[in-house]
Structure 1
Amino acid sequence: MTQTSSTESLLLEIALPVPLRRCFDYLPPADITPSALQPGALVRVPFGHQELIGVLIKVKTESAQDLGKLRHALAIIDPRPALDSELLDLCLWAADYYQCAPGEALQTALPVLLRQGEPAQLRGEPVFRLTTEGKGLPEGALKRSPKQAALLAALQTHHQLSRNDLDLLDIPRSIAKSLIDKGLARIDEIVPSQAPHPAELLREQPLVLSDEQQAAFAQIDYGSFKTYLLDGATGSGKTEIYLQAIEQSLKQGKQALVLVPEIGLTPQTLQRFQRRFNLPIVALHSGLNDRERLDAWLQARDGIARIIIGTRSALFTPLKEPGILIIDEEHDGSFKQQDGFRYSARDLAAVRAHRLGIPLILGSATPSLETLHNAIQGRYQYLRLKARAGNAKPPEIQLLDIRGEILHEGFAQASIDAIGDTLGKGNQVLVFLNRRGYAPTLECHDCGWLANCNHCDARMTVHQTPRHLHCHHCDHQRGIPKRCPSCNSSKIQPIGQGTERSEVVLQQLFPAHKVIRVDRDSTRNKNSMQKLLVDVHSGEPCILVGTQMLAKGHHFADVTLVVIIDADAGLFSTDFRGAERMGQLLLQVAGRAGREEKSGRVILQSHHTDHPLVQTLVQQGYHALADLILHERQITQLPPYRHLALIRAESKQAIAAVNFLQTARKIAEQLQAPHPLLNYLGPLPAMMEKRGDRFRYQLQINSAQRKPLQQLLSELALQLEVSPLAKRVRWSIDVDPQEMG
Structure 2
Amino acid sequence: MSDASHLVPVAVHAPVHSGLGDLLSYASPEPLPPGTLVRVPLGAREVLGVVWDGAAPPPAAGVEIRAVAGVLEGLAPLDAHWRRLVAFTARYYQRSLGEVALAALPPQLRTLSAEQIARRLRRSTPAPEVAAETIENVVLSAEQESARAQIASEPGPFLLFGSTGSGKTEVYLRCVQEALAAAPDAQALVMVPEINLTPQLEERFRARFAPRFGAAAVVALHSGMTHAQRLASWLAAHAGRARIVLGTRMAVFASLPGLRLIVVDEEHDPSYKQQEGARYSARDLALWRGRTQGAKVILGSATPSLESWHASLPATPEDPAGGRYLRLHMPSRIGAGALPRVRRVDMNQQPRRSVLSPPLLAAIAERVARGEQSMLLLNRRGYAPVLHCADCDWKSDCPHCSAHQVFHKLDRTLRCHHCGLTQRVPRACPACGSLDIVPIGRGTEQLEEQLAELLAPVLRPDGTPARIVRIDADSTRAKGALQSQLAQVHAGEVDVLVGTQMIAKGHDFRRITLVAAVQPDGALFSSDFRAPERLFALLMQAAGRAGRDAAYMAVQGTPCEMWVQTSHPRHPVFEALKRHDYPAFAAQQLQERAAAGLPPFSFQALVRADARTQDVAQGFLRAASEAAQALPELAQVTLYPPVPLAIQRVANVERAQMLLESQHRTALQRFLAAWQPLLHATRADPAHKGLIRWLIDVDPLAI
TM-score by length of 2: 0.91
Deviates more, 1:380-389 or 1:41-50: 41-50
Q: How many Å apart are 1:332 and its aligned residue?
A: 0.3
User: In the TM superposition, what is the alpha-carbon distance from 1:548 to its structure 2 partner?
Assistant: 0.5
Q: Could you tell me how far apart the structure 2 residues matched to 1:62 and 1:509 are?
A: 71
Name the SS of the counterpart of 1:314 in structure 2: helix
Q: 1:191 to 1:701 in 2, by over 3 A?
A: closer
The counterpart of 1:285, out of the listed 222, 244, 250, is 222
Question: Aligned with 2:235: secondary structure?
Answer: helix
Q: Partner residue of 2:625?
A: 665
Q: Give the secondary structure class of the aligned counterpart of 2:335.
A: coil
Q: Which residue of 2 aligns with 1:214?
A: 145
The worse-fitting range, judged by mean Cα deviation, of 115-124 and 230-239 is 115-124
Tell me the equivalent position of 1:704: 663
Q: Deviations over 1:417-440 (max 9, x none)?
A: 111101111100101000011111
User: Does the residue aligned with 2:641 lie in a helix, a strand or coil?
Assistant: strand
Note the alpha carbon deviations across 1:343-396, whole angstroms, 9 max, x for none. 000000011101111110000000000000000142000001111111210000
Would the aligned equivalents of 1:329 and 1:364 in 2 still touch at CA under 8 Å? yes
- AA aligned opposite 1:474: C
CA distance in 2, matches of 1:658, 1:232: 45
Contact 2:266 2:302 in 1 (8 A): yes
Aligned residue identity for 2:37: L
**What residue is the counterpart of 1:33 in the other structure?**
30
Return the match for 1:319 from 249, 253, 256.
256
Q: Which residue of 2 aligns with 1:256?
A: 188
- Structure 1: any 5+ residue segments left out of the alignment? 126-188
Asked if 1:381 is matched to 2:313, the reply is no
C-alpha distance in 2, partners of 1:415/1:108?
48
8 Å CA contact retained: 2:470, 2:499: yes
SS for the counterpart of 2:670 is: helix
The 3-state SS of whatever aligns with 1:484 is coil
The equivalences for 1:481-492 within 5 A come to: 481-492=426-437
Provide Cα deviations, 1:459-505, integer angstroms capped at 9, x if missing partner: 11111232211111111211111111222110111111111111122
CA distance in 2, matches of 1:470, 1:342: 27
Letter in 2 for 1:10: L
- Structure 2 segments unaligned to the other structure (5+ residues): 314-321, 457-464, 554-558
Aligned to 2:338: 393
1:244 Cα deviation after fit: 0.8
| 1:598-650 deviations in Å (ceiling 9; x for gaps) | 13101100011122332233246222111111111101111000000101111
Aligned to 1:403: 348
Equivalent residue number for residue 556 of structure 2: none
Contact 2:573 2:585 in 1 (8 A): yes
Shift of 1:719: 2.0
Distance (Å, rounded) in 2 between the aligned partners of 1:415 and 1:216: 38
Find out whether 1:603 has 2:563 as its counterpart.
Answer: yes
Q: Which residue of 2 is the match for residue 715 of structure 1?
A: 674
For 2:284, give the aligned amino acid.
D
1:270 to 190, 202, 206: 202
User: What residue number does 2:488 align with?
Assistant: 535
Question: What is the aligned partner in structure 2 of residue 362 from structure 1?
Answer: 299
Task: Tell me whether 1:228 sits opposite 2:191 in the alignment.
Answer: no
Q: Deviations over 1:231-287 (max 9, x none)?
A: 011011111111111111121232111000000000000111112222321111112
Aligned pair partner of 1:10 in 7, 16, 29: 7
Distance 2:379 2:632 in 1: 42
Distance 2:570 2:93 in 1: 41
Cα distance, 1:117–1:26 mapped onto 2, change above 3 Å: farther
Residue 307 (str. 1) matches residue 244 (str. 2): yes
* Partner Cα distance (2:120, 2:97) in 1: 33
8 Å CA contact 2:468–2:494 kept in 1: the answer is no
SS at match of 1:682: coil
Cα distance in 1 for residues equivalent to 2:622 and 2:298:
42
Once residues 382 and 301 of structure 1 are traced to their aligned partners in structure 2, the CA distance between those partners, rounded to angstroms, is 32
- Among 587, 591, 607, the alignment partner of 1:647 is 607
When residues 477 and 568 of structure 1 are mapped into structure 2, their CA distance, relative to the original with a 3 A threshold, is: same
Aligned residue for 1:637?
597
Secondary structure at the aligned position of 1:325 is classed as strand
- Partner Cα distance (1:62, 1:12) in 2: 7
Does 2:70 match 1:75? yes
Please provide the CA RMSD for this pair: 2.2
In structure 2, distance between residues paired with 1:192 and 1:75: 24
Q: Which amino acid is 2:125 matched to?
A: P
Partner of 1:685: 644
C-alpha distance in 2 between matches for 1:506 and 1:93: 51
Which amino acid in the other structure matches residue 381 of structure 1?
A: L
Matched, 1:472 2:417: yes
Q: For the structure 1 residues 565 and 10, does the alpha-carbon distance in structure 2 shift closer, same or farther, using more than 3 Å as the test?
A: same
Deviations 1:552-588 (A, max 9, x none): 1001000000011012121011111011101101111
- Between stretches 228-237 and 612-621, larger displacement belongs to 612-621
Bigger shift: 731-740 or 70-79? 70-79
How many residue pairs align between the two structures?
Answer: 666
Q: Which moved more, 1:19-28 or 1:522-531?
A: 19-28
- After superposition, residues 59-208 of structure 1 pair within 5 angstroms as 60=55, 63=58, 65-66=60-61, 68-78=63-73, 80-81=75-76, 83-119=78-114, 121=117, 191-193=124-126, 195=128, 198-202=131-135, 205-208=136-139
Give the secondary structure class of the aligned counterpart of 2:496: strand
Instruction: Give the distance between the partners of 1:586 and 1:58, measured in 2 at CA.
Output: 47
1:613 to 1:11, Cα distance in 2 relative to 1, 3 A: closer
SS of residue matched to 2:642:
strand
Structure 2 counterparts to residues 543-554 of structure 1, below 5 A: 543-554=496-507
Equivalent AA in structure 1 for residue 413 of structure 2: H
Provide the C-alpha distance between the structure 1 equivalents of 2:429 and 2:542, rounded to a whole number of angstroms: 38
Cα distance 1:123–1:259, how it changes in 2: closer, same or farther (>3 A)?
A: farther
- Most deviating of 73-82 and 641-650: 73-82
TM-superposed CA distance for 1:451, in Å, is 0.8
In the alignment, structure 1 residue 738 sits paired with structure 2 residue 683: no
* Paired letter, 1:45: V
Distance 2:621 2:485 in 1: 47
Percent of aligned positions that are identical: 39
CA distance in 2, matches of 1:437, 1:411: 18
Separation in structure 1 between the aligned mates of residue 543 and residue 580 of structure 2, nearest angstrom: 14
CA distance in 2, matches of 1:517, 1:408: 22
The more displaced of 357-366 and 225-234 is 225-234
Give distance in 1, aligned partners of 2:450 and 2:646: 33
When residues 241 and 197 of structure 1 are mapped into structure 2, their CA distance, relative to the original with a 3 A threshold, is farther
The range that moved more, 476-485 or 555-564, is: 476-485
